[in-house]
Amino acid sequence: MKIYPVILSGGAGTRLWPLSRAVMPKQLLPLVSDRTMLQETALRVADWPELMAPVVVCGNEHRFLVAEQLREAGVAPLGILLEPVGRNTAPAVAAAANYLLAIDPEAVMLVLPADHVITDRSAFAAAVQHAAALVGQGALATFGIVPTGPETGYGYIRRGDAVGGAGSGYAVERFVEKPDRASAENFLADGNYYWNSGMFLFRASTYLAELAAFKPAIAAAAEAATRLGYRDLDFCRLDEAAFTACPSDSIDYAVMERTSHAVVVPAAIGWSDVGSWSALWDVQQHDADGNALRGDVYLDGVSNSLIRAESRIVAAIGVKDIIIVETNDAVLVVHKDAVQRVKQVVDHLKLKERTEHLHHTKVYRPWGHYEGIDVGDRFQVKRITVKPGEKLSLQMHHHRAEHWVVVSGTARVTCGDTVKLLSENESTYIPIGMNHRLENPGKLPLHIIEVQSGSYLGEDDIVRFEDIYQRA
């Protein structure tokens, strides 16, 4: 049996604002270790003889970050499927299933969200093996997390009769929505309930057959989106029209709650979906006072708190059970009991048409990144880093001129019909409306300071004439 991990890397993770943002969501951040959540998930399934190379499903806007993070982790994916829009997990997995069936008609899919923590890998491997035996008999398996407390933030699965041997799996009796506290305590005391992990194992063909039976519109749209998709560099773009027309639904609602072949495999694997700042505190190492710390932090009389400093010193005195997260452009301070209300901040930022929920001051591009330093009336200053051998698009701006100063490295600058090399401490000027391009021909990163001036400085004032990354 060949098992193909399918890693779902969609979603925005708004409850982990201000660290998680639309263009840099939690799965692409190093939250628990020095690796990102996506990297940890990919490496978790990278060294099993039974597992094939993974297929990753992500949003179009995250494609270069996903590819770069997998490269850094040493993971070569079987494919990276790009969703033109988010349509929840049922269509995403259906697209991956169609993609895999074209490669292997007997493909078995291990569906994993990219943003979960699993600390006991051996127990996870054992659970997958139990599930594989049941999948070989035609089952669609989900992994039920053995609960460690009356958690109200998770959905639950009630198990029915045992199948496939004692303790290896159970028929799914029913799925339960997130309960109140009293119900969660009853579930825990009952002993027949598991947390719903959102992880699955099933044959691609079986899943698509059940999806076609219960949600034929999703099955048809996902099949068309995959069949009409096309290669773009190292990516597979799902057809935009077909996928956009697809109804949005989760695997649970579309298939698992309807099929008669659903089984749940118990899994005590040190699992967390890191769905809030308090959940992140739970899975991190603590000091003697119960604090989880990262960055430049000063404490005095602080206990049971998570404090994360990204760009400057954070000092906390005489507080407990608190979350403090500092970034370049935002600071969050919230009691651990109120972390579910962080999403309201994101809603407020959207309503006010602000940008702090969209991106950080450092913005990643396939060629490197830029970081905002200062902005004012008719001017903006950025720090730009271009990776060795990379180049920006040949472009022009209608409303702004640019001054570039090389801080370190070597720049090849195209300005109109002129091409020249610039070294450290040298500069150049790009007038409004002039075609231009910045390249790094060297073997070291290129660092420049860019000063923009003009009547409009938005990132959408870019007309691209040529781009090696095939961006519009």
Helix axes 89-101, 204-214, angle to 10 degrees: 130
Residue 53 lies in a domain: yes
Same domain, 286 and 399: no
- Residue for token digits 């035996």? 133
119, pLDDT greater than 70:
yes
DSSP string computed for 33-87? SSS-HHHHHHHHTSS-TTB---EEEEEGGGHHHHHHHHHHHT---SEEEEESS--
What is the mean pLDDT of the segment spanning 90-119?
97
Same domain, 286 and 419: no
What is the mean pLDDT of the segment spanning 145-151?
91
Question: What was the pLDDT predicted at 472?
Answer: 72
What is the mean pLDDT of the segment spanning 48-65?
93
* Mean pLDDT over each residue of the chain, to the nearest integer: 95
Question: What was the pLDDT predicted at 166?
Answer: 62
Residue 352 lies in a domain: no
Q: Which of 9, 33, 35, 13 is nearest to 275 (CA)?
A: 13
Which helix (H) or strand (E) segment is 216 a member of? Answer: helix 216-227
Bridge partners of 292, per DSSP, are: 306
Same domain, 253 and 312: no
Q: Find how far residue 314's CA is from the centre of its chain.
A: 27
Q: Do the strands 436-439 and 306-309 form a parallel or antiparallel pair, or are they unpaired?
A: unpaired
Residue 351 lies in a domain: no
- Examine the fold and report which residue of 272, 303, 318 is the final residue of a domain before the chain moves on: 272
- Examine the fold and report which residue of 246, 272, 298 is the final residue of a domain before the chain moves on: 272
Q: What is the dihedral of CA 263, 187, 14, 6, to 10 degrees?
A: -10
Query: What gap in Å lies between CA 444 and CA 410, rounded to an integer?
Result: 8
464, pLDDT greater than 80:
yes
- Higher-pLDDT residue of 363 and 199 is 199
Question: What percent of the chain is modeled with pLDDT above 90?
Answer: 90
Same domain, 131 and 156: yes
What is the mean pLDDT of the segment spanning 196-213?
98
Q: What is the dihedral of CA 117, 120, 124, 125, to 10 degrees?
A: 130
Same domain, 335 and 370: no
With vertex at residue 36, the alpha carbon angle to CA 340 and CA 391, rounded to the nearest 5 degrees, is: 120
347, pLDDT greater than 80:
yes
How does residue 167 score in pLDDT terms, banded at 50, 70 and 90?
A: low
Query: What gap in Å lies between CA 113 and CA 9, rounded to an integer?
Result: 6
Question: What was the pLDDT predicted at 11?
Answer: 79
Q: What is the CATH number of the domain that holds 385?
A: 2.60.120.10
Residue 25 lies in a domain: yes
Bridge partners of 409, per DSSP, are: none
Q: Do the strands 79-83 and 379-386 form a parallel or antiparallel pair, or are they unpaired?
A: unpaired
Same domain, 285 and 199: no
Same domain, 294 and 338: yes
Residue 353 lies in a domain: no
Same domain, 243 and 153: yes
Residue 257 lies in a domain: yes
What is the dihedral sign for C-alpha 47, 48, 49, 53? negative
Peptide bond into 445 cis (omega under 30): no
What is the mean pLDDT of the segment spanning 75-90?
95
Question: What was the pLDDT predicted at 108?
Answer: 98
Q: Find how far residue 373's CA is from the centre of its chain.
A: 26
Same domain, 158 and 229: yes
84, pLDDT greater than 80:
yes
Residue 300 lies in a domain: yes
Bridge partners of 314, per DSSP, are: 297
DSSP string computed for 165-215? STTT-EEEEEEEPPP-HHHHHHHHHHS-EEEEEEEEEEEHHHHHHHHHHH-
Q: Which of 130, 193, 191, 187 is nearest to 163 (CA)?
A: 130
Same domain, 245 and 116: yes
Q: Are 366 and 69 in contact (CB under 8 A)?
A: no
Query: What gap in Å lies between CA 200 and CA 251, rounded to an integer?
Result: 9
Any idea which of 273-277, 295-299, 401-405 has the lowest mean pLDDT? Answer: 273-277
- pTM of the shown model: 0.90
- The phi, psi pair for 233, rounded to 5°, reads 55, -120
Domain range holding 385? 362-466
Residue 471 lies in a domain: no
Query: What gap in Å lies between CA 262 and CA 158, rounded to an integer?
Result: 12
Same domain, 255 and 334: no
Kindly report the three-state secondary structure assignment for every residue of 277-298: HHHHHHHCCCCCCCCEEECCEE
Q: How many domains does the chain have?
A: 3
Query: What gap in Å lies between CA 388 and CA 386, rounded to an integer?
Result: 7
Same domain, 243 and 95: yes
How does residue 233 score in pLDDT terms, banded at 50, 70 and 90?
A: confident
307, pLDDT greater than 70:
yes
- Examine the fold and report which residue of 346, 375, 397 is the final residue of a domain before the chain moves on: 346
Question: What percent of the chain is modeled with pLDDT above 70?
Answer: 99
What is the mean pLDDT of the segment spanning 294-308?
98
E-only strand ranges, 344-459: 362-365, 368-376, 379-386, 394-396, 400-408, 411-415, 418-422, 427-430, 436-439, 446-454
Query: What gap in Å lies between CA 9 and CA 404, rounded to an integer?
Result: 36
How does residue 16 score in pLDDT terms, banded at 50, 70 and 90?
A: very high
Question: What was the pLDDT predicted at 333?
Answer: 98
What is the mean pLDDT of the segment spanning 174-181?
92
Bridge partners of 300, per DSSP, are: 317
Helix axes 37-44, 63-73, angle to 10 degrees: 50
Q: What is the CATH number of the domain that holds 244?
A: 3.90.550.10
Q: Take residue 138 and report the two structure tokens written for it.
A: 């035609």
Query: What gap in Å lies between CA 391 and CA 413, rounded to an integer?
Result: 10
Query: Letter for the amino acid at 268?
Result: A
3-state secondary structure of 451: strand
290, pLDDT greater than 90:
yes
Question: What was the pLDDT predicted at 219?
Answer: 97
Enter the DSSP assignment of 248: P
How does residue 13 score in pLDDT terms, banded at 50, 70 and 90?
A: confident
